[in-house]
Amino acid sequence: MPDPNRTFHGGVFHDSIPGGRSGARIQLRRNEIVAEATCEGEPFFSLPFDDCDLDLGGASGRMVFCRDPEKTLTIFCEERGFMDELRDGSYGVLAPQLDQLTRLRKGETHRFRFWVIASTLLLTAICIGGYFGVMAGAKAAVKAVPISVDERIGGMAMQSLMLEERLDDNHPATMLVRQIVDKLKPHSAIPDMNFRVAVIKSDQVNAFAVPGGQMCVYTGLIKKAKSPEQIAGVIAHEMSHATLRHGLRAAGQSLGIIAAIQVMIGDVGGLVALGSQVAQQSILTSYSRGAETEADLEGARMLHDAKIDPKAMADFFELLKSEMGDIPGIAVWISSHPQHADRVNNIMKFQFGLPETEYQKLELDLKAAQDALQ
C-alpha cells in the first residue's frame, strides 16, 4: 500500500496556477495522487488512479507525467522510486501503463548505462591524457546539453538549406499540417519543444525535421496521402527525431578532439557549428537504421496517445512502396528510409503491445487541402 508519509518533489501544470506551472510536493494516498503546489497559496490538487494517464518525457527521458483524461491537470516527477511507488501504491491499476512505458524506454535505459560507464572510464583516461577517454566524456556531456542548443543547431541548418517556395500560413495545406502538429504536441516526449512547421511547394514526397523541432512537409507528400492520419504518421515520425535528439547525438558522434574538449568544459559553440552540418547531412541522406526505428516506434506511441491509429504510419509506408514504380525519383521520404518490410512489421508489433484504446478519426479536410494544391 502507498506510504502516506513519503513525499516526492516534482511539479504541477494547471490553469489555476499563476503562469500555469509550479513546483509541488507529491504524495500517494489510497486511491489517488495528490500534489501540494509550492506557489503562493499552496493550492492542492488530486488525481484518482482510475483517471490517470501516464507518460514519460522531459529532457532526461525519465520524468513521469500523470495527466487527467481532459489534460487539464498534470502532475510530474522524475525522482528515483516514483514509478515503483506508483506501481505498488495503485494496487495494480497503473501497472499496465507502467509496463508499457518501461518497455518503450528500455533502449534509453541501456544507452544511459552506457554513458555512465563511459563517464566512469573518462576519469581514468583523463589522468593519462587518453584520447579515447576525452572522446567518450564528450559524448556523455552531450546528454546534458540543454534543448536550446538543439534549437540553435536547427535554426542554422534551416537557414543554410536551399528550400523551395513556402506556402502561406493561411493556405489550407499549411493549416491542415499545423492542426496535426497541435494534436500531437501534447503527447510528445518533450511537450515544451517549440515545434514549427512549414509546407514546401514541391512534387517530392518528402518531410524532414531538424534539431529543436522545426519541420518541413512537402506538398507532394500531402497530395499522395489517402487520409489525414497518414500525414499524421509522417509528422509523428519527424517530431520523434527532434524529441529523441537524434541530430544532437549524431553531432556528438562526429566530434573531433578539440570540439570534444570544448563540450566537456561547457563551451558548446563548436557543437552548434558542427551540429548544423550534421543536421543538413541527415536531411539529405538519412539517420541511422537504429534512429529510424526509434522514431518509428516513438511516433507510433505518440499517435496512440493522441487516439490516432498508428497503423496509418505503416499504411503510408505500404502506399509509397507500392507506387514507387509510378513516381521514380520523387518518393524521397520512403527511398531514404531502408528496410521497409522490417519497419512495417515493427510498427504493427509495437502497436499490438499498446494498451487498448478507441481511436478517433481526424476531422480534417484533406480533400480541400489537396484541391488547393492543384
Domain boundaries, the chain: 8-104, 145-372
Q: How far apart are CA 312 and CA 303, in angstroms?
A: 9
Which of 47, 22, 20, 19 is CA-nearest to residue 34? Answer: 47
The DSSP secondary structure of 204-225, one letter per residue, reads S--EEE-TTSEEEEEHHHHHH-
The DSSP secondary structure of 44-94, one letter per residue, reads EEEEEGGG-EEEEESTTS-EEEEE-TTSS-EEEE--TTHHHHHHHHTTTSS
pLDDT exceeds cutoff 80 at 264: no
What pLDDT, on a 0 to 100 scale, did the predictor assign at position 329?
42
Q: What is the mean pLDDT of residues 337-354?
A: 79
Question: In this predicted model, what pLDDT tens digit does every residue of 25-71 receive, in sequence order?
Answer: 999 988 899 999 998 888 999 999 999 999 887 766 788 999 999 99
8-104 placed in CATH 2.30.29:
yes
Going by C-beta distance under 8 Å and a sequence separation of 6 or more, which residues neighbour residue 319?
224, 225, 226, 230
C-alpha cell at 194: 517549440
Q: How far apart are CA 277 and CA 294, in angstroms?
A: 22
The residue count of the chain comes to 374
Question: In this predicted model, what pLDDT tens digit does every residue of 171-221 receive, in sequence order?
Answer: 999 999 999 999 999 999 998 899 999 999 998 888 888 888 999 999 999
Q: What is the mean pLDDT of residues 232-243?
A: 93
pLDDT exceeds cutoff 70 at 346: yes
**Which segment, 53-67, 125-139, 296-310, is predicted with the most confidence on average?**
296-310
C-alpha cell at 10: 516534482
* CA–CA distances in Å: residue 8 to residues 40, 172, 193: 19, 46, 25
- 8 A C-beta contact, residue 192 and residue 319: no
pLDDT exceeds cutoff 70 at 148: yes
Lowest mean pLDDT among 111-125, 161-175, 275-289, 311-325: 111-125
Q: What is the mean pLDDT of residues 152-162?
A: 74
C-alpha cell at 138: 564528450
pLDDT exceeds cutoff 70 at 239: yes
C-alpha cell at 345: 512489421
Q: Residue with C-alpha cell 522514431?
A: 295
Lowest mean pLDDT among 51-65, 239-253, 301-315: 239-253
Q: How many helices (H) and strands (E) does the chain have?
A: 16, 10
Distance of CA 32 to the CA centre of its chain: 28
Q: What is the mean pLDDT of residues 279-306?
A: 79
What pLDDT, on a 0 to 100 scale, did the predictor assign at position 280?
55
pLDDT exceeds cutoff 60 at 285: no
Strand 32-37 vs strand 53-57: parallel, antiparallel, or unpaired?
unpaired
Distance of CA 248 to the CA centre of its chain: 13
Residue 63 burial (CB count, 10 A): 19
Q: What is the mean pLDDT of residues 331-335?
A: 49
What pLDDT, on a 0 to 100 scale, did the predictor assign at position 226?
94
What pLDDT, on a 0 to 100 scale, did the predictor assign at position 323?
62
